[in-house]
Amino acid sequence: MWESGTINPALEILDQGIHDHPHALTLRKLRGDILSASRGPGEAVQAYETVLADTPTALDVRWAKWSVLTRSGQGKESIDELARIAEIDAQNPLVHLRLAQELRKLDRLEESLESYQQAMELAPGMLGWRLSLARARFDVLDYEGAEADVQYVLHNAPPVHRWSSRPKICFHKSMAPLSIEADASTRF
């Protein structure tokens, strides 16, 4: 029903299922998902909040709510939701990275730096993230810290193999490459 665009009967059936199984988190989340796809974000957020009132640590519901808030342009509310996700899923570096990026968009630079630092503590080998941390340090005028992070990346980045000369690409008449030739000093 939902796929065919008949939303109201689908919601009625789902509501009956929720009534019969009031603790079925999946059904209650599905209601929010359907509302987010078919109606305004307000109804979807309200449906997700109803689920979260009973199960505040349901990460899939929190992520769904965050997604609706983000898509509907509710920046502050989406950041607040992302911060709650970071509290629940504190060992997930991607949550802290995303929170840092979103905070930076709103010029909340000190908070953004803290989130970048948390992400780097959890995933120290992510060199691209360390460059973002360097930028965050630079934004709050921590030039020494920014330089140290850049130096860390330069020191730990894998070596880059460059072409010593331009490669020659030989094409077949079908325009599909047959081979790529480079001079003998080129290493791959």
Closest to 86 measured CA to CA, from 63, 52, 67: 63
Instruction: Report which residue type is found at 125.
Output: G
With respect to residue 121, please indicate whether it lies within any of the assigned structural domains. Answer: no
d(CA 120, CA 129): 7
With respect to residue 157, please indicate whether it lies within any of the assigned structural domains. Answer: no
Domain that includes residue 20, residue range: 1-89
List pLDDT tens digits, range 108-119: 999 999 999 999
With respect to residue 180, please indicate whether it lies within any of the assigned structural domains. Answer: no
Q: CATH no. for residue 33? A: 1.25.40.10
pTM for this entry: 0.72
**Separation in Å, CA 80 to CA 74, 102, 109, 120:** 10, 10, 15, 21
List pLDDT tens digits, range 46-93: 888 989 999 999 999 999 999 999 989 998 999 999 999 999 999 999
Least-confidence region, from 11-15, 38-42, 170-174:
170-174
d(CA 53, CA 78): 17
With respect to residue 55, please indicate whether it lies within any of the assigned structural domains. Answer: yes
- Counting the structural domains of the chain, the total is 1
With respect to residue 51, please indicate whether it lies within any of the assigned structural domains. Answer: yes
With respect to residue 8, please indicate whether it lies within any of the assigned structural domains. Answer: yes
Instruction: Report which residue type is found at 70.
Output: T
